[in-house]
Amino acid sequence: MPLPYRRLVVKIGSNVLTQDNGLPDLDRMEQLVGQIVQLKTLGLEVIVVSSGAVAAGRSLITLPAQTDAVRSRQLLAAVGQVKLLSTYAELLAKHNLLCAQVLVTKEDFRDRQHYLNMKNCFQELLQQQVIPIVNENDVISVTELMFTDNDELASLIAAQLDADALIILTNVDGIFTGDPRLPESELIREIAPSDKGFDTFITAQRSQFGRGGMLTKCHMAHKVAKLGISVHIANGKTAGILPAVLAENAVNTWFRPSKTASGKKKWLAHAQSAVKATVQVNAGAREALSTPGKAVSLLPVGVLGIKGEFQKGDIVQITDEAGQPLGLGIAEYGAEKAQERLGQQHQRPLVHYDYLFLNPDLA
């Protein structure tokens, strides 16, 4: 029986769309577009997060070897993004489908209102049967404005749009118990929300043409699954991989989702850059917050100290006594009032459970 998905985010990695010589793999791109069209005919909404702009730029312009690395990436991305989108548009037009370009930076996700405006734009595109093609705006994204990679961007989009599933296409079949090239390494077919320690045998090596690697994919997938979104890591070079994932007969790693989180929690899960201050809690509060299956708010009685200023509605980071991050929350009142109530019992929660996102690895 096919998986009951209605809205999908499909992330296509650089190593899927790029040949060994660093140039775009147009045949692969056409195959994947054909599969996306298949999903559309099944009635699914599809959002594509696509790498490949830099590779497309390489096919159009050759830069001197001494060109600055950051400027080189910006230039290739600026030139290549036009080529990448026009290729998607041409391939989809053969099936009477339209696509739309959506370029974003990390800054676009920091402000809640801006976040909702962007979400509304996506909703309208999907309503009109337009396929959004999303990529990082590499032309202006440098240093602190950059996503870790497009896996992080795809995770943000999946959470923002309440997607049923995120399918990450890479150049291996999924998560293995060791180096995928070694015969003794086995594919991990399923990872539950409570599973931990799987990153100990995953290489931190980055992909050949992208910024990410399997370790970042794994961490992002685990976080997204905690929000109630299915995540599949699969081989984008396998014929018919997208329909096969939906039909549950694909070789892949499935991150099984936990119960669906609220829209606010999905935003909070990726809102680290919007943190205004830090709230340090004692061991008792840490234990209460980490109790599985229990809805617990952060009460002033468990707060040891506050670093920084914040107002009602601001995002604060919650840490334990050792400074270990526990999660993020939206403050119910400002720092001044919180300082007055520090350690006191029978007070209103500083962060209500509904506006509290705890790290998936918290235990």
Residue with token string 């896996």: 151
Q: Give the Å distances, CA to CA, from 317 to 156, 233, 327.
A: 19, 30, 6
The rounded distance, in Å, linking the Cα atoms of 210 and 300 is 44
Question: Which residues, including other chains, have CB under 8 Å from residue 302's CB and lie 6 or more apart?
Answer: 281, 282, 284, 285, 288
* Cβ proximity of 280 and 305 under 8 Å: yes
Its sign, for the CA torsion 257, 260, 261, 262, is: positive
* Cβ proximity of 232 and 188 under 8 Å: no
The rounded distance, in Å, linking the Cα atoms of 238 and 17 is 12
Taking the CA of residue 296 as centre, how many other CA atoms within 13 Å lie in the half-sphere pointing to its CB? Answer: 17
* Residues counted in the chain: 363
Taking the CA of residue 60 as centre, how many other CA atoms within 13 Å lie in the half-sphere pointing to its CB? Answer: 16
164 among annotated binding-site residues: no
* Cβ proximity of 318 and 351 under 8 Å: yes
320 among annotated binding-site residues: no
11 among annotated binding-site residues: yes
Nearest to 167 by CA among 12, 45, 36: 12
Nearest to 287 by CA among 326, 345, 331: 326
Question: Which residues, including other chains, have CB under 8 Å from residue 91's CB and lie 6 or more apart?
Answer: 29, 30, 33
Farthest-apart Cα atoms in the chain, separation: 67
Residue with token string 């014929």: 239
Known binding-site residue numbers for ATP? 11
Known binding-site residue numbers for substrate? 51, 138, 150
